[in-house]
């Protein structure tokens, strides 16, 4: 088997493990974790079976929520 093919298979297995650990999590949290792992919006969209634009919007919303949560905690 070619090295590139093996790398893709290993990467896909690691994604499945990550997504399995996030069972029950919403798409936003899954997308955020995959983004933190270094995957592009297109790759995340493929893994989560949606479009890259949906992922871009989802990530933007998740980051905004997390930023607001941090700000709220600072003022308590």
Digit-coded pLDDT (tens) for 2-43: 888 888 899 889 999 999 999 999 999 999 999 999 999 999
Termini Cα distance of the chain: 57
* Residue numbers of the domain that contains 61: 3-74
Written as six digits, the tokens of 70 are 């941090």
Domain count, the chain: 1
Beta-carbon neighbour count of residue 55 at 10 Å? Answer: 26
Digit-coded pLDDT (tens) for 51-73: 999 999 999 999 998 887 776 77
């Amino acid at each position: 088997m070619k090295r590139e093919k093996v790398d893709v298979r290993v990467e896909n297995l690691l994604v499945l493990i990550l997504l399995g650990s996030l069972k029950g999590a919403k798409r936003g949290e899954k997308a955020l974790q995959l983004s933190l792992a270094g995957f592009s919006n297109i790759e995340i969209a493929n893994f989560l079976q949606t479009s890259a634009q949906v992922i871009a919007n989802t990530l933007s919303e998740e980051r905004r929520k997390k930023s607001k949560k941090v700000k709220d905690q600072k003022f308590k």
